[in-house]
Amino acid sequence: MRSPAATYADAKCGEAASKAEQGGVTYQAALLRASAVVAALARADLATAEVRWAELLPDQEHRLAANEKGIEVVRLLLVSARLDMARHRPDEALKSLERAGELIASRRQQTNPDARELETLRSLALIATQRYVEAEQHAQAALELARISAVDPKSSSWIGEALVLRARAEVAAGRKAAPATAREALSHLVANLDPRHPLIAQAREIASSPAP
């Protein structure tokens, strides 16, 4: 059952998105509705995420048909991948991520604000498909992008997240470096996330495990 706070937050997000659409600000509306799906997935509320995604799916199809390359269509593809991961369909998630990567590359820009999230999700999906060497490579790419964009490279939840992903891939691949990678992740995560955040639990589990 959803909490009253979650219900209220969903309602306010939907209201804000509707106002943005009425004002012709489709960019903001798309991002708000995408955020509502991600928020539902973060609290493991797949049913609500499915409902919110059903509202967004026509927008994604329209933008793809129009050959858009901007942040809106990529954001929708990334959300679609997150949803497929929650559905335990990592191969489908990888298809959306491949399309998102092609669109980002087609911009021919030196930096892209959505590239780090793309690499993070690729690593997660590859771990789910037991492609651990590739997962480690994409986690490293996410780490490098997180370090470039961090306000403080010594304390960043994005850096910590990428390190946890790399540690997970290292464990699965039997690499001795995994506990040390997880300990490095903890130095970033503990300072920036709620103590109950699942990333912290994952990092602590790997950090305390004996090296392979």
Report the chain's mean pLDDT, rounded to a whole number.
89
Q: What is the pLDDT of residue 27?
A: 57
Q: What is the pLDDT of residue 183?
A: 97
Contact 173, 184 (CB under 8 A): no
53 in a structural domain: yes
Q: What is the mean pLDDT of residues 172-182?
A: 96
Q: What is the mean pLDDT of residues 71-99?
A: 97
Does residue 23 have a pLDDT over 60? no
Q: What is the pLDDT of residue 212?
A: 62
Q: Which of 85, 87, 95 is nearest to 125 (CA)?
A: 85
Q: What is the mean pLDDT of residues 180-192?
A: 97
On whether both 8 and 94 belong to a single domain, the answer is yes
Half-sphere exposure of 189 (CA within 13 A, CB side): 22
Does residue 2 have a pLDDT over 90? no
Q: Which of 62, 75, 65 is nearest to 36 (CA)?
A: 75
Q: What is the pLDDT of residue 209?
A: 85
On whether both 95 and 171 belong to a single domain, the answer is no
Structural domain range at position 70: 1-113
In the chain, how many domains are there?
A: 2
Q: Is 24 exposed, middle or buried (0-12, 13-18, 19+ CB in 10 A)?
A: exposed
| Range from 6-15, 41-50, 163-172 carrying the lowest mean pLDDT | 6-15
Q: What is the pLDDT of residue 5?
A: 40
Tens-digit pLDDT profile for residues 134-152: 999 999 999 999 999 999 9
153 in a structural domain: yes
Chosen domain end from 113, 146, 162: 113
Q: What is the pLDDT of residue 32?
A: 86
Q: Name the band, by pLDDT with cuts 50, 70 and 90, for residue 115.
A: very high
Where does the chain show beta strands of DSSP type E?
none
66 in a structural domain: yes
Does residue 178 have a pLDDT over 50? yes
210 in a structural domain: yes
119 in a structural domain: no
125 in a structural domain: no
* Tokens matching residue 146: 């997180």
Q: Return the axis-axis angle of helices 157-172 and 132-149, rounded to nearest 10°.
A: 160
* Tokens matching residue 65: 């048909």
Q: What is the pLDDT of residue 26?
A: 56
DSSP string, 136-180: HHHHHHHHHHHHHH-SSTTS-HHHHHHHHHHHHHHHHTT-TTHHH
Does residue 21 have a pLDDT over 70? no
Tens-digit pLDDT profile for residues 29-58: 778 889 999 999 999 999 999 999 998 999
On whether both 143 and 100 belong to a single domain, the answer is no
What letter represents residue 137's amino acid? Answer: Q
118 in a structural domain: no
Compute the distance between CA of residue 166 and CA of residue 137 in angstroms, rounded to an integer.
Answer: 8
On whether both 57 and 161 belong to a single domain, the answer is no
Chosen domain end from 113, 148, 164: 113
On whether both 94 and 193 belong to a single domain, the answer is no
Cβ neighbours, 10 Å, residue 78: 22
Q: What is the mean pLDDT of residues 173-183?
A: 96
Residue percentage of the chain with pLDDT more than 90: 79
Compute the distance between CA of residue 193 and CA of residue 191 in angstroms, rounded to an integer.
Answer: 6
